[in-house]
A and B are shown apart, each in its own frame.
Chain A
């Protein structure tokens, strides 16, 4: 796939051209915050995004509340035809999360049509993360601020110009008219990549972390880790790779709705009998961490956390999943292989 080159001035005009054919979603300023929202013109887009917009891009594919069907005596399925979209300006950690969610939601035989239709109609153009912030740790969990694996194209800012890695045919459509990058330009990008990656945390030893956490399952480690947890849904709702949902019938509106749910909520695992297999925040905190670092690894061979740092940054009591992982790595749990 080709590597292209574009000036800042020209890049800033590109989304206006896309807008003729696509709905474009990109980080724009919404009050004090940044948010991935539908763009009306290029000028709205915030180009220098040092840290991730708090509300994750998964919401464009798995909306927090999605009407699955409506009923008024008879059922109406909801129209699933999607307009073609460009999702622009997310970092590689968020792009990776969307690809991870494909594992969960697109089973070959039984795909989630609501997810699949949005996913197929969207071209993902990521921007490399040039200045990762204090809460970032993509490199610890198998990613990179320059990761090209999960996007249709990746844009890297170098000395006020931009290198465009076209990664799929889908992505190529948006950049077909640009000139190819020259060797000297490519070298600049490679240098920058190495420099930024060198300042990032080292990769967790995946297998050891997996095994240590499994060994910790029945220990007091989780009591300690969860003691300050409030039990809110901030970490999971802002997480780009959490996907749990609950289906509710809104009888007044006559709609069947799918809402995000959170394993951190008391009611999440509460059964109709009144029994709750995860009765305290200890079991619930354990579940969140085990799902990311153990169950995802067992199921698809990679860690289910992309290191975007949102849970670290926005947890009201600063529970830090990086610290939990480090702690688990450095402890001896009974039954652990030495």
Chain B
């Protein structure tokens, strides 16, 4: 069934392609399973009817800009997190903003397949989004979720769901207002003893199968050679053992400090349902406290770690008390 959000997106995409403003539009289309959407690349005006945006569009489309021909005029459909990722990539000189046309869409949040039950025990046959409810059909019957209960944690914690610095914003209401971020989960984690925090981290990392879906789904992970692939010297173990698994997760998180836009695409890509955003969210909180910086918010504010000098901001390290017991 066509919905107005999709029709407005399609109309804008059509205009851009017909008028030659861009060569290609990056968006989402229907996938091959009832709970999946696929990223798609539309270069012909007569193909725009494929475009859709709903709660099952789980990727951060900005990831595709990292291997994208630099000169190509490209439109990309962006929600809040995608617009902030692109802002960060532009600041890091990965892309020229003038070659990009951002079609902003106020975000309605992304559904968490784990929460709606895409598990081995309950295969999902259909997902229907009905306003603030989500109807999921399983092999053995239907279940109605409140939308907020079915959303991915990253979306529930999101502070900036509105697209920033977009060239056009689709006139549709989003699900949240900016600034509705619920920080309580981070406080709860910080207040755990060091031992308890370590237990949480270990339990998450030990399920890692080193497939690097988290890295590849992340717009900010664009290194030509990832530290984890470096063999001379070898930075961390290559094996499925705590040393390598924990090494990967903790160093990956640190490389995201002040760069992560908290989209949660890493967690949604993970085939083992490993939680990762609590690490990057903590680091982002430190960046906000120490430098007043949040990734992707300000098109002119260079990331502190690109500008840090003796005369600029100074890390005090006193922000967090250690609750070790």
Mark A residues whose CB is within 8 Å of B.
Answer: 27, 29, 31-34, 46, 49-55, 63-65, 131, 133-135, 227-228, 230-234, 237-238, 246, 248, 250-253, 257, 259, 262, 265-267, 281, 312-314, 316-320, 322-323
Contact = CB atoms under 8 A, between A and B. Distances in A.
Contacts of B118: 313
Contact of A33 (B120, B125, B238): B120
Given A230-B63, A252-B237, 14 more contacts: A29-B121, A33-B119, A33-B273, A54-B271, A65-B238, A65-B241, A134-B123, A228-B64, A232-B269, A237-B211, A313-B33, A316-B213, A316-B217, A320-B31
B292 interface: no
Closest CB pairs A-B (n = 8): A316-B269, A233-B211, A232-B213, A230-B216, A65-B239, A318-B31, A133-B123, A318-B36
Given A32-B273, A65-B239, A231 B31 contact: no
21 contacts: A31-B273, A33-B272, A34-B121, A49-B121, A50-B139, A52-B120, A228-B64, A230-B216, A230-B217, A231-B216, A232-B212, A232-B269, A233-B213, A234-B211, A234-B269, A237-B211, A257-B238, A265-B212, A281-B67, A316-B58, A316-B217
B211 A248 contact: no
A46 B234 CA distance: 41
Given A46-B121, A238-B271, A259 B32 contact: no
Contact of B209 (A64, A252, A267): A64
Interface SS of chain B:
loop
A231 B221 CA distance: 12
Interface stretch (B4-12, B38-46, B94-102): B38-46
A250 B213 contact: no
Contacts of B269: 230, 232, 234, 316
B240 A259 contact: yes
B193 interface: no
A31 B209 CA distance: 16
B213 A50 contact: no
A314 B124 CA distance: 13
A32 B114 contact: yes
Interface in B209-250: 209-213, 215-217, 229, 234, 237-241, 243
Interface string B5-25: 000000000000000000000
Interface residues of B, number: 47
A250 B247 CA distance: 14
B271 A50 contact: no
Contact of B139 (A131, A238, A266): A131
A265 B33 CA distance: 25
Interface in B165-218: 207, 209-213, 215-217
Contacts of A51: 120, 123
B58 A50 contact: no
- Most chain A C-beta atoms within 10 Å of own C-beta, residue among B58, B119, B211: B211
B33 A134 contact: yes
B268 to A, nearest CB: 7
Contacts of A33: 119-120, 272-273
Given A55-B209, A232-B211, A232-B269, A248 B239 contact: yes
B110 interface: no
B63 A54 contact: no
A134 B268 contact: no
Contacts of B38: 228, 317-319
B213 A230 contact: yes
A34 B209 contact: no
B313 interface: no
B295 to A, nearest CB: 21
B210 A233 contact: yes
Nearest to A238: B271
A248 B228 CA distance: 13
Interface in B112-136: 114, 118-125
Contacts of A27: 120
Nearest to A309: B33
Contacts of B243: 253
B37 interface: yes
B73 to A, nearest CB: 17
Nearest to A27: B120
Given A51-B123, A227-B41, A318 B211 contact: no
B152 to A, nearest CB: 13
- Most chain A C-beta atoms within 10 Å of own C-beta, residue among B32, B59, B64, B139: B32
A267 B59 CA distance: 24
B223 to A, nearest CB: 11
Given A64-B209, A237-B211, A318 B33 contact: yes
Nearest to A29: B121
A44 B8 CA distance: 52
Contacts of A313: 33, 118
A86 to B, nearest CB: 21
A53 B216 CA distance: 24
B122 to A, nearest CB: 8
Contact of A134 (B114, B125, B213, B241): B125
Nearest to A248: B238
Contacts of B240: 63-65, 259
A257 B217 CA distance: 28
Nearest to B31: A318
Contacts of B39: 228, 317
A52 B123 CA distance: 10
A314 B118 CA distance: 10
